[in-house]
Amino acid sequence: MSSRLGTVVVTGAAGRIGAEVCRHLRDEVRHLVLVDRVPLDPRSSTDRVVQLDLADLDAVVAALEGADAVVHLAGHPDEAPLADLLESNVLGTYHVLEAARRQRVGRVVLASSNRVTGFYPVGQVVAPDAPARPDGFYGVSKVAVEALGRLYADKFGLSVVCLRIGSFEDEPTEARYLATWLSPRDGIGFIRAAITAPEVHFVTAYAVSANTRAFWDTAAGAQLGYLPVDDAESHADRVPGSEAPIDAAAFQGGAYTTAEYSLRHVVASPPPS
């Protein structure tokens, strides 16, 4: 390779995290393939832009030709009707993994979410191998994403890393983020490590900053070769509610665990005629 990272495909390149990943990795790759449904402009001679819908498997296969790694960030980012999440998050991930299999891609990094375990209590430190307790339909879709990644690793020999991404923000803005914050610097660090870690069969890791109040086990992230450096506590004095007592029995998913958060996305059956 002429570059340490070779050719890297980033799906969802126009998104919040995708744009940040592309900006930071651009100088470390031989080629950067920016994949999204919306039009994008190349930012350097290393960029190649591919506009496609992940529902089109043949187009995804073509986009991954010659790739050394794919960072799959595309998908619906929050609660939605389950049918939409299955199409966007689950089917889209299946197409990325199948394309990676056909093109013999060396590493697949999948964007999972901390919300696959949102129903664990705040007082419990949760490791990636704990049973899933999703806090909504979005969390369910990410459980399926991880299961697909595991299947393609075990059955087809793909090297897969699932990153359970925390609250990716410039700085924490609410009390829950004091535990779940993922700074942009640490986010890029985890993704770079997920691309480059040697001898990976399948790994699931929480991607979260080194927050004093964190309630996730980050040992798997350390195994990938990255130790986070930022701590949400340094911003606590500017976060509303940061001094409130911590309820150890409260759910880690916070407001995402409420029935109302999901029920507004349940498609009502038509009344009987």
Cα–Cα distance, 126 to 149 (Å, whole number):
20
116 within 8 A of 164, measured Cβ to Cβ: yes
pLDDT tens, position by position, 93-116? 999 999 999 999 999 999 999 999
Cα–Cα distance, 202 to 160 (Å, whole number):
5
Segment 173-190 mean pLDDT:
98
Segment 243-254 mean pLDDT:
97
CATH homologous superfamily of 7-263: NAD(P)-binding Rossmann-like Domain (3.40.50.720)
Catalytic residue set: 138
- Average pLDDT of the chain to the nearest whole number: 96
Cα–Cα distance, 258 to 242 (Å, whole number):
21
From the CA atom positions of the chain, what is the Rg in Å? 19
Predicted pLDDT at 270: 62
State the DSSP code for 251. Answer: B
Query: Is residue 87 scored above 70 in pLDDT?
Result: yes
pLDDT tens, position by position, 152-180? 999 999 999 999 999 999 999 999 999 99
Query: Is residue 1 scored above 50 in pLDDT?
Result: no
Cα–Cα distance, 79 to 206 (Å, whole number):
20
Residue boundaries of the structural domains of the chain: 7-263
Q: pLDDT category, 205, cuts 50, 70, 90?
A: very high
